[in-house]
Chain A
């Protein structure tokens, strides 16, 4: 490498961030007016999403171009790694809020409504006859009778799928380091295919819950925590699978070398993160 490459690469003048801000403006304006009852808001929202997609493609395209062009030295690479780590940490804390809500409901608010601790009169005067148990849709039986989503069947299959995909992505990573392109391509493809299968199965589960079990987002605190946790997780799996697909395309194009493949690793970390969240979900939402 020439000495110039040893300098930390500082890009100049990018219009992608301001395009992103415009996208966010239309997105948020659209969603807000739509929620307030204006149908036009939906189209404004889609327009915002469109701008954001253009921005993401353009911004990442610029970064990929610079990366392939060899502008990034080891220190820049380290910045990206650290940035990804802290981004995943922020995601962990986002899920922590919803897990916190689940634990609070199970261990505090529901038992209290049932009269535990010093809440005898809460139960007697407000919710007489309510006996605390989990799962529950609350003393008001919000959303009506529902069935509980058990841990076996689809959720167990989904667990197996995600855990397997974590293994396949690791095999792909080792193959990348060892320079075995065939294994890399096959196992990375397997990973995102498993990811999309997971998302599909999750959709099947949701349809089943809504149509056959009367288990809905509106089914009290159980429905709320169930769908918000699995929903946000499913969203992250979808994003992760799209990321893996793009990385696979880049692998096919030969963008990565055994010692320079940050984007691959970042996506793999992200994938392990959604996998770990799923294990938490499986244990605390489906099983216990």
Chain B
């Protein structure tokens, strides 16, 4: 007992960070772990991006140019897995780690040691996955959806693929539990639920989705593993199973997964647009209800990914209409962002530019999603470049733009200095031009009948493919501007505590840069009201 009592006093002394590598390996600090997540996801963003450039180089002209078709398939598969699980998801978890405790006035995340583990599982997972590139039979080449029986033809990479997914799931579930518990249990006094900032709200809902569907995904890949190595018949018709069953289980995870990648983006944008419109968020509560509706609907629309695989007509109708209903809450959100800007005194700093780009371009992706939701039309679009255009519009100028917006918005709070605004704006405009050059022609390619995941194509698709490849290389290079901004992030002028002219929320009441420990004692109501009303 006496030693424990000594620990008590030590624990409440103000610790600074440890020195050197130990700080990053052993840290339980939400800001350190947030930084780890963000840096890791940026590295993965460039690794996955390099794979995308291999794909686009190959597709720049008809005929086979640089890589073997088998390797092309490995690139599409690895690009997707790395971008989804290595770049977008950890980046949002990084933002959550950094910002949620500061936004709700908590001293740290609720379960700090587990927070460290959630992060440090990721390098293991992606180390295992990346090592498959050098194995017999190469990396997984079945597409990230891993449909059997195709995926069962994977070589030595197969168990590595399955177990790396298990690890990613473990990391996501622990991270999500931490976020939910932090939000529900660690809020400042008087911050009742409907007073929480939208970013916190969307993450609460996202974390719920993660806990609900990542275990289902783990179950699905476990069935693949036992089918491959232990003779089960889950996806084997001769044994009474069904390969299509995998698709159902996978997409029961997969559809909520796409909202896991977009709901936090909604949250980021809902923080930024009010700040630069100098108005409160229009319809805060309706935004909460809309996000909750989207989360609920995400569980009952999965089979719209499978319209061509064969299902009863009643099933097609149900999944078609359920999918189209999602446009209603999503529309509520888009109109609320527009209404927030309505008659606001707007300025267009980099975070605002990325947010506006998000609203425009994500909406385009939403509209193409509606087209795909129509079952009879989808039978034409299925597995074409139209689908590729659709989901890249919601993920790149959707999730990635929101992440960039969030990074620019909170960067001065993290570093204590203003970033290079000129470079930030250049980054935005180059990204926006090239992202459209890359993905807009893919709509036309898909409608004209070009299939996805094929390294060669008919000559009539040549022009649009050339445009898309030029756009992709341009988009990749423009991200180097972002790296420049990060490298020079501490060379600008000192940031004030509030950083921007009219931001709302508790994170702007702490100094810039945010001290290692914030809100050791919960903020008093006055501060909270000042920041919030």
Interface residues of B in 23-42 (CB under 8 A from A): 25-28
Among A82, A90, A105, A138, which residue has its beta carbon within 8 angstroms of that of B215? A90
B334 near A: Cβ within 8 Å? no
Which of A29-37, A185-193, A206-214, A248-256 binds B? Answer: A29-37
- Given known contacts A97-B249, A217-B231, is B181 in contact with A36 (CB within 8 Å)? no
Interface residues of B in 445-472 (CB under 8 A from A): none
A223 near B: Cβ within 8 Å? yes
Category for how many chain B residues contact A: 35 or more
In the bound assembly, the distance between CA atoms of A112 and B237 in angstroms comes to 10
Q: Is the CB of A13 within 8 A of B18?
A: yes
* CB contacts between A and B, total, < 8 Å: 250
A174 near B: Cβ within 8 Å? no
Among B8, B117, B123, B216, which residue has its beta carbon within 8 angstroms of that of A97? B216
Q: Is the CB of A224 within 8 A of B234?
A: yes
Q: Is the CB of B116 within 8 A of A17?
A: yes
- Given known contacts A28-B128, A32-B159, A90-B173, is B233 in contact with A142 (CB within 8 Å)? yes
B521 near A: Cβ within 8 Å? yes
Q: Is the CB of B237 within 8 A of A139?
A: yes
Closest partner residue, chain B, to A94 (CB atom): B215
Chain A residues near B25 (CB, 8 Å)?
15, 18
Q: Is the CB of B240 within 8 A of A101?
A: no
A24 to chain B, nearest CB (A): 6
Q: Which of B170, B177, B211, B248 has the most CB of A within 10 A?
A: B177
19 other A-B residue contacts (CB within 8 Å) besides A13-B22, A94-B215: A10-B112, A16-B113, A17-B120, A21-B120, A32-B128, A32-B163, A66-B4, A69-B4, A79-B185, A86-B180, A100-B252, A101-B249, A105-B240, A113-B240, A118-B312, A140-B237, A217-B231, A218-B233, A224-B232
Among A7, A24, A108, which residue has its beta carbon within 8 angstroms of that of B167? A24
Q: Is the CB of B239 within 8 A of A224?
A: yes
A71 near B: Cβ within 8 Å? yes
Chain B residues near A91 (CB, 8 Å)?
215
A121 near B: Cβ within 8 Å? no
Q: Is the CB of B232 within 8 A of A13?
A: no
In the bound assembly, the distance between CA atoms of A217 and B111 in angstroms comes to 39
Which of B219-227, B324-332, B392-400, B492-500 binds A? Answer: B219-227
In the bound assembly, the distance between CA atoms of A101 and B215 in angstroms comes to 14
A267 to chain B, nearest CB (A): 17
Chain B residues near A11 (CB, 8 Å)?
11, 28, 112-113
Q: Which of A17, A83, A104 has the most CB of B within 10 A?
A: A17
Q: Is the CB of A104 within 8 A of B245?
A: yes
Q: Is the CB of B167 within 8 A of A28?
A: yes
Interface residues of B in 90-117 (CB under 8 A from A): 106-108, 110-114, 116-117
B12 near A: Cβ within 8 Å? yes
Chain B residues near A28 (CB, 8 Å)?
124, 128, 160, 163-164, 166-167
B190 near A: Cβ within 8 Å? no
Tell me the B residues contacting A by CB distance below 8 Å.
1, 3-5, 7-9, 11-12, 15, 18, 22, 25-28, 106-108, 110-114, 116-117, 120-121, 123-124, 127-128, 156, 159-160, 163-164, 166-167, 170, 173, 176-178, 180-181, 184-186, 211-216, 218-220, 222-223, 226, 229-234, 236-242, 244-245, 248-249, 252, 312, 517, 520-521
- Given known contacts A82-B184, A217-B230, is B120 in contact with A93 (CB within 8 Å)? no
In the bound assembly, the distance between CA atoms of A225 and B241 in angstroms comes to 10
Q: Is the CB of B12 within 8 A of A36?
A: no
A43 near B: Cβ within 8 Å? no
Closest partner residue, chain A, to B219 (CB atom): A97
- Given known contacts A13-B26, A101-B249, is B237 in contact with A29 (CB within 8 Å)? no
Among A36, A78, A95, A126, which residue has its beta carbon within 8 angstroms of that of B156? A36
A89 near B: Cβ within 8 Å? yes
Q: Is the CB of A138 within 8 A of B163?
A: no
- Given known contacts A24-B167, A28-B124, A94-B216, is B159 in contact with A83 (CB within 8 Å)? no
Q: Is the CB of A117 within 8 A of B312?
A: yes
Chain A residues near B106 (CB, 8 Å)?
8
In the bound assembly, the distance between CA atoms of A89 and B279 in angstroms comes to 39
A222 near B: Cβ within 8 Å? yes
B386 to chain A, nearest CB (A): 28
7 contacts between A and B (CB under 8 A): A14-B116, A17-B117, A25-B128, A28-B163, A79-B111, A217-B231, A221-B234
Among B117, B185, B231, which residue has its beta carbon within 8 angstroms of that of A82? B185
B343 to chain A, nearest CB (A): 42
Interface residues of A in 27-65 (CB under 8 A from B): 28-29, 31-32, 35-36, 59, 65
In the bound assembly, the distance between CA atoms of A227 and B113 in angstroms comes to 35
A152 near B: Cβ within 8 Å? no
Chain A residues near B241 (CB, 8 Å)?
105, 109, 138, 220-221, 224
In the bound assembly, the distance between CA atoms of A265 and B368 in angstroms comes to 50
B291 to chain A, nearest CB (A): 19
In the bound assembly, the distance between CA atoms of A117 and B111 in angstroms comes to 51
Chain B residues near A87 (CB, 8 Å)?
173, 177
In the bound assembly, the distance between CA atoms of A112 and B311 in angstroms comes to 11
Closest partner residue, chain B, to A96 (CB atom): B216
Q: Which of B121, B163, B185, B244 has the most CB of A within 10 A?
A: B185
B168 to chain A, nearest CB (A): 11
Q: Is the CB of A32 within 8 A of B249?
A: no
Q: Is the CB of A93 within 8 A of B237?
A: no
A170 near B: Cβ within 8 Å? no
A136 near B: Cβ within 8 Å? yes
A75 near B: Cβ within 8 Å? yes
B57 to chain A, nearest CB (A): 31
Chain B residues near A269 (CB, 8 Å)?
none
Chain B residues near A35 (CB, 8 Å)?
159, 229
- Given known contacts A32-B159, A113-B240, is B231 in contact with A4 (CB within 8 Å)? no
- Given known contacts A10-B108, A138-B236, is B173 in contact with A29 (CB within 8 Å)? no
A180 near B: Cβ within 8 Å? no
A236 to chain B, nearest CB (A): 13
4 shortest A-B CB distances, which residue pairs?
A: A69-B4, A97-B219, A140-B238, A138-B240
In the bound assembly, the distance between CA atoms of A11 and B123 in angstroms comes to 23
